[in-house]
């Protein structure tokens, strides 16, 4: 599975931050969320994981397009409605990037504005 090592490292990192992993690879037609987690205070966090082995085509963060973020937001809203019956719960989107090898590359978590 493409990206499985990066997603496994990302999930372990988020758990290390005290989050509960609720779902991985949540899919809807036209969109996906790599990791859905819940922080200690109850906020749901929808995480896109991006990894780039080399910077030849830009950084992992640069690979996240506005279209991808829009699809991610749509998938997050669908998740909220399907799992909780409403779409107004405290939540946010973020991007977790790994630049370099999945197991050892530099890891960053960035909030998505919007």
Whether the CB-CB separation of 100 and 53 falls below 8 Å is answered with: yes
Question: Burial of 38 by CB count in 10 Å (0-12 exposed, 13-18 middle, 19+ buried)?
Answer: middle
pTM of the predicted model as reported, rounded to 2 decimal places: 0.92
CATH of domain 4-111: 3.40.1350.10
How does strand 106-111 pair with strand 31-38?
Answer: unpaired
Q: Phi, psi (5° rounding) for residue 65?
A: -95, 160
Confidence band for 114, pLDDT divided at 50, 70 and 90: low
Q: Which of the given ranges, 12-21, 68-77, 102-111, has the highest pLDDT on average?
A: 12-21
Give 3-state DSSP helix, strand, coil % of the chain, rounded to 5.
30, 35, 35
51-96 residue pLDDT tens:
988 777 778 888 888 898 999 999 999 999 999 999 899 999 999 9
**Number of Cβ atoms within 10 Å of the Cβ of 12:** 10
């Amino acid at each position: 599975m493409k990206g499985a090592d990066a997603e496994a490292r990302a999930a372990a990192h988020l758990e290390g931050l005290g989050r509960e992993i609720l779902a991985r690879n949540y899919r809807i037609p036209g969109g996906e969320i790599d990791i859905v987690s819940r922080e200690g205070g109850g906020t749901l966090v929808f995480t896109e994981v991006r990894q780039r082995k080399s910077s030849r085509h830009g950084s992992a963060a640069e690979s996240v397009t506005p279209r991808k973020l829009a699809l991610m937001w749509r998938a997050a809203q669908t998740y909220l409605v399907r799992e909780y019956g409403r779409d107004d719960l405290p939540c946010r989107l973020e991007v977790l990037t790994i630049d370099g090898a999945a197991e050892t590359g530099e890891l960053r978590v960035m909030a998505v504005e919007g």
